[in-house]
Amino acid sequence: MGNNMLIGQSGGPTAAINASLSGAIRAAMSCGKIGHIYGTKSGIEGVLKNNIIELAPYLKSEMDFRLLEHTPAMALGSCRFKLPDWKQDDSLYVQIAKTFDDYDIGYFFYIGGNDSMDTVRKLNDYFLSHDKEVRVIGIPKTIDNDLNCTDHTPGFGSAAKYVATSMLEISRDSSVYDLPSVTIVEIMGRNAGWLTASAVLARQAGGSAPHLLYLPEVAFDVDQFVSDVSALTKTVRNVVVAVSEGVRLADGSYAAEAYQSNAVDVFGHKYLSGIGRYLEQVVRERIGCKVRSVELNVMQRCAVHISSKTDLQEAREIGRVAVQLALAGESGVVPVMERVSNHPYLISYTSRKVEEIANYEKKVPKKWITPEGNDVTEDMVEYLRPLIVGEAAQFTKNGLPIYFSFEG
Amino acid sequence: MGNNMLIGQSGGPTAAINASLSGAIRAAMSCGKIGHIYGTKSGIEGVLKNNIIELAPYLKSEMDFRLLEHTPAMALGSCRFKLPDWKQDDSLYVQIAKTFDDYDIGYFFYIGGNDSMDTVRKLNDYFLSHDKEVRVIGIPKTIDNDLNCTDHTPGFGSAAKYVATSMLEISRDSSVYDLPSVTIVEIMGRNAGWLTASAVLARQAGGSAPHLLYLPEVAFDVDQFVSDVSALTKTVRNVVVAVSEGVRLADGSYAAEAYQSNAVDVFGHKYLSGIGRYLEQVVRERIGCKVRSVELNVMQRCAVHISSKTDLQEAREIGRVAVQLALAGESGVVPVMERVSNHPYLISYTSRKVEEIANYEKKVPKKWITPEGNDVTEDMVEYLRPLIVGEAAQFTKNGLPIYFSFEG
């Protein structure tokens, strides 16, 4: 088998995905069993375009690694590329295998979400079926926290910390005037409500906001929403609502659909945005009080300046475990986290077959949502609490963050 | 004259307004010449409603002050209340004077923007005309940086730091895919482009984003915008645009007007939002590449977790200077900042008559905008650079910020 390794990043950005990249490179450099460490620019697309670079020249000091770990989005670039079924058309696989041969690749690591794990599964399956020994390992990341078989996913904790902190700040901002108001905060999460649920952590700081949380796991009804908000305005001066971008009506259609473009990504997902703005108009028309909507937008996945120290540490660690799995002869697996205990918070690392993870979406369990469907339970809070703990280091110059780059 | 002081906050939230409150209280407590220190809840409305509290019991330790200085929005609450002309109707003034007598108020401090300075001006004028010795001092704050007679305004530096940092993060986020894209970031600033201009600071970190900046000081033309963006897409893969919420057409109407509610605040300002979303649609239809808009929304004024240390220090200092001015017998004045030098950055504090500040808006000078009207000059960068320097302390518990409260 090949002596070198190749690593790539795929899917949407997170604050922690470069920490996993760093963790894997650190482990590969120190193990003494791997030759050259290559990175593919723009994920699997970079392999197809032969856009591959050697990483060691960019990582010469501990400071280089630390900057990489505190740089948002993908330092190696990303793609959203779905490999075809190789049994139908193996031309791309032949090309990939050729490139792997050219670079003498024995280990391939791919950091991504459940769509990216589909690439890991197919590549591993192809190599196995063609007696080609390449150890293919997926490294999980997603702000959505919707990966199967793992207690949680690197990237989620930092996004949750951003959401909870912003909830606190927005809640203070919305309560300065002695006037009734409603503030609607729209949070990412196409199909799973984990990140919207994390807004609840703001209550730990003593306040009562957010007062209502709407997750995609519960059928959304705009009349019930108006009724919920109206009831609250009787006792709460400044109502703060957390709503997932992906809430759906009982018929399964996205509540925000009327406001959407018809753009669909290569995995068939609809591009969503707009439920917050829509509900703002509903409140204005049907309740009539001061109302504002806030879309946390991409900041919730790229605000490395407020990332969770716990998350970055776990992201780095899971990158290290991925390399260990490969060195131990595993392939077609994904390192995952199991929660050993909450007090103290303790995680153990293990692995699962990529088939159990690829293309699945882990939803918020119904038992962690209140019967009214507009809040989450104490068990959910208990689950979320440790994931945002700790403030990551800040590296700044002239008041601005310093980022790592593989360019130039 | 009265022996006690009263302080209030007014207008829109900033990250630094509580630092000015703290600075004034610190100075009043240590001067030995002021008796009780009262705060009015919700600004001048709190005086009219007799919603006044003594502040010392809440501020017992250095840590209490520090938490107050790092708490977003107004710890005392705010209002947007325009006092009538007392020569037309003095009933509210009579009521305010009575309340000041009841509390033996000799010093009144009001922290706010140019609208709030109108309250300072009118109250001072009324007291002077009625031989009532109350020293009335305005303390400037605004994220808009549009106050006359001062080099810059407390609150602006922190907002600028948030904008520049977010620009960097969003720019990284927008460049992960190997695809042409346009990202439009909408920034606050109803009539003045200071905050939008501060996005330019992101370039200091080495990148070229933002590539275009549109300020309200230059007439906006959507065809020119499309032409600017189209030209850039020839050479730049991921174009990032900073646009002020308040950009206007040549006829003076807000470019985003079609998307606005007709709500108007008590000072006659139109409520604005939506130019970013509008331009997103324009790019999609007329250029046809991947496009996203991001509204920084209230986070740019309340994200204390990324506030500028320089800004918080100056905000506290200007609160202290306000108390010194009052003790020196001044009234109807506002402490302001003069820039002594840029290298090293040095500020001196002086004062100006409130008449020179109330109701004026300081625009970005035309000479600091490029002839093309879509960028700012190096002089603007030089002006902005020192204002975002330094990271404010973070006080956290369980991964979330700890805030100060005058409640309970």
pLDDT digit string, tens, across residues B293-332:
999 999 999 999 999 999 999 999 999 999 999 999 999 9
CA distance B162 to A57: 33
| Mutation to test the B interface, candidates A176, A267, A389, most B Cβ within 10 Å | A176
The verdict on a CB contact (< 8 Å) between A176 and B78 is yes
Is A151 known to be catalytic?
no
Residue of A115, A118, A144, A375 with catalytic role:
A144
Interface of B with A in 337-376 (CB under 8 A): none
CA distance A170 to A242: 11
How does pLDDT run across B117-157, given as a tens digit for each residue?
999 999 999 999 999 999 999 999 999 999 999 999 999 99
Interface of A with B in 57-76 (CB under 8 A): 71-74
**A259 pLDDT above the threshold of 80:** no
**B364 pLDDT above the threshold of 80:** yes
Give the confidence band of A236 by pLDDT, cuts at 50, 70, 90. very high
Backbone angles phi, psi at A290, to 5 degrees: -60, 130
The verdict on a CB contact (< 8 Å) between A161 and B399 is yes
**B272 pLDDT above the threshold of 70:** no
Mean model confidence pLDDT for chain A: 94
**A266 pLDDT above the threshold of 70:** no
pLDDT at B232: 97
In this complex, the residue of B178, B201, B399 whose CB is nearest that of residue A77 is B178
The verdict on a CB contact (< 8 Å) between A298 and B299 is no
How does pLDDT run across A146-181, given as a tens digit for each residue?
999 999 999 999 999 999 999 999 999 999 999 999
How does pLDDT run across B164-196, given as a tens digit for each residue?
999 999 999 999 999 999 999 999 998 999 999
Catalytic residues of B: 144
**B178, closest residue in chain A (CA to CA):** A42
Give the confidence band of A285 by pLDDT, cuts at 50, 70, 90. confident
pLDDT at A210: 98
pLDDT at A258: 54
The verdict on a CB contact (< 8 Å) between A294 and B294 is no
Give the confidence band of B268 by pLDDT, cuts at 50, 70, 90. low
User: Could you tell me which of B145, B140, B138, B183 has the C-alpha nearest to residue B161?
Assistant: B145
**How many interface pairs between A and B have CB atoms less than 8 angstroms apart?**
174
Q: Residues of B with CB below 8 A from A186's CB?
A: none
pLDDT at A379: 98
Q: At what angle do helices A156-174 and A309-327 cross, to 10 degrees?
A: 170
Q: Residues of A with CB below 8 A from B170's CB?
A: 298-299, 302
Enter the tokens of residue B286. Answer: 């007329």
Q: Which amino acid is at B74?
A: M
Q: Is B285 on the interface with A (CB under 8 A)?
A: no
Interface of B with A in 126-165 (CB under 8 A): 161, 164-165
| CA B240 to each of CA A90, A297, B221, B276: distance values in angstroms, whole numbers, following the listed order | 38, 15, 18, 12
Q: Residues of A with CB below 8 A from B176's CB?
A: 9, 13, 73-74, 77-78
| Mutation to test the A interface, candidates B17, B48, B176, most A Cβ within 10 Å | B176
Contacts of A357 (CB under 8 A, 6+ apart): A114, A117, A138, A140, A147, A148, A149, A150, A334, A336
